[in-house]
Structure 1
Amino acid sequence: MTPRIRNIAVGLVVRDGRVLAEEHAVVPGHHRFARAIGGGIEFGERAEQALRREFREELGVELTSRTARRDGKSVRPRRRTRS
């Protein structure tokens, strides 16, 4: 079987320094791990549409336009510099 590359859209929900993640297992009954909410981008779907769909399917919530980012960049907390 030829490996395939699949584009995904994921979103981080951060509140009070905590990150919402979903528990997932590649194979049922095996080790579980945490991952960001999201999933595969369907053919003809934009990343933002996929992310909205995934949040609707997995959490039953609708994202507002103000909460969705689509810059594709990693977001990291700012580091404090010593004065």
Structure 2
Amino acid sequence: MPTTYLPRVTAADHELLRHSVDNYPADTHDKWLRLQAKEIANWRASGWDVVMIDVSAEDFDRYCRETRASPNFHTFRAIASAKAIGKFA
């Protein structure tokens, strides 16, 4: 079964991330959780295993700084995969 890695965000980090991640999709943590639940269901319905990876605001800032990546939602999502495969700790 193929695997996808999605970022798990705390309520406290959500408040920081929604102001620093370009195109962040949710203005509240509850909305974030609802959107993510739908996304997880879609992945699983398509036969994918979903693994949640903790991604903090500090992780995002450090990843962007170290890799010189743009501070956007695509980069934010990529951090979960990078952490999962050992390319970012």
Q: Which structure dedicates a bigger proportion of its chain to strand?
A: 1
**Which fold has the larger relative contact order, with Cα–Cα distance below 8 Å and residues 6 or more apart in sequence?**
2
Q: Which structure dedicates a bigger proportion of its chain to helix?
A: 2
TM-score above 0.5, yes or no = no
TM-score after normalising by structure 2: 0.28
